[in-house]
Structure 1
Amino acid sequence: MSDEFRILLVCTANICRSAMAEVITRAMLRSSPMPMVAASAGVSALVGHAMAPHAVTTLDRLGLDGRAHRARMLDLDLVRSADLLLTMEARHRDVAVGLDPAAERRTFTLPEFAALAAAEGHRRHRSDTAERARAIVLSAAGRRRPRRVPEVRDPYGGPPAGYDVCAKELGEALSHALGALLGPHPTPREP
């Protein structure tokens, strides 16, 4: 297994929710002590398209840049290479698992994983490595219960304020998820 932990964010067209989530995740991981990589894709991607203009504007207000993003289609190779797939809706999860049934234990809606991972934060794992993060994903899958899972609402086609609400929701869920995966970090001691 790789020392790098790979997160794949998935939505419909890969021009709004998963694209914003990818940019937000990368920003959150800039100072990560563990090598983590974030990417995104869509189940019906508008391949090659830029991020939706309102999504770019929302990211601008957060001090982030989504202009380089280009949509890509979810495929078997992307699913297989991801340690964790975070989808925006249950139907996106179903598509990913349909491509590779072995991905079921590492595929969640983002809000679902954020809740499961936050509860996981109190458990101990062997190290603060990609191995630890993979163990958290498997533990979360083992605690998942059949029920209607929370989803991230699509702001596409709605007012600009809907993108701000979506970005806030993404940021909060990603903060919980990444916080659990990365674990607590000791604060540096004063000399």
Structure 2
Amino acid sequence: MTALPPLILGSTSRYRRELLERLRLPFTADAPRVDETPLPGEAPAALATRLALAKAREVAARHPGALVIGSDQVADVDGEAIGKPGSHERAVAQLRRMSGRAVVFQTAVAVVRPDTGFEQVERVPVTVRFRALDDDEIERYLRLEQPYDCAGSAKCETLGIALLSAIESDDPTALVGLPLIRTSALLRAAGLDPVRQAR
């Protein structure tokens, strides 16, 4: 039986690392060296797809014997890319803008395996419907959770779920940052079956 290549998650995100751990596969993580600046006029869906593939390719170039996962997520509000707020003030502005609206979170995942030439990327859109939020609610939520490293300024896996009226997706972990259904399918296509290789 041919030995499987080492699995590498091309990400520094603790959320993606925790999600990938659910598949019970041994893996390491390596930070991709990729400029995440959007190209002029680049749509959020195209940005997420391009960055997921670029991250996987960059890490794979440094680990040519590995199988590499890259992922990216961009919040899409009226065709505008909304990133991680990074500060309380920007998070307040993001949640005010999203209040009472539907926001599409474009999550993309790529798998690259240089030794076989395998390279695929898939995008999973997630529609998130925010309730109408007042300023006191926004302020209290942000002080409690401080989700300044999350695109859209809310963590659906914890208290942020209470800000929402609906989440619409066919891959439930996509909103957290790594769509595990699509990731598993890509890994199988690349020669690593998560169920058969789980530990």
TM-score, normalised to structure 2, is: 0.34
**Which structure has the highest helix share of the two?**
1
Q: Of the two, which has the highest radius of gyration?
A: 2
**Which structure has the highest strand share of the two?**
2
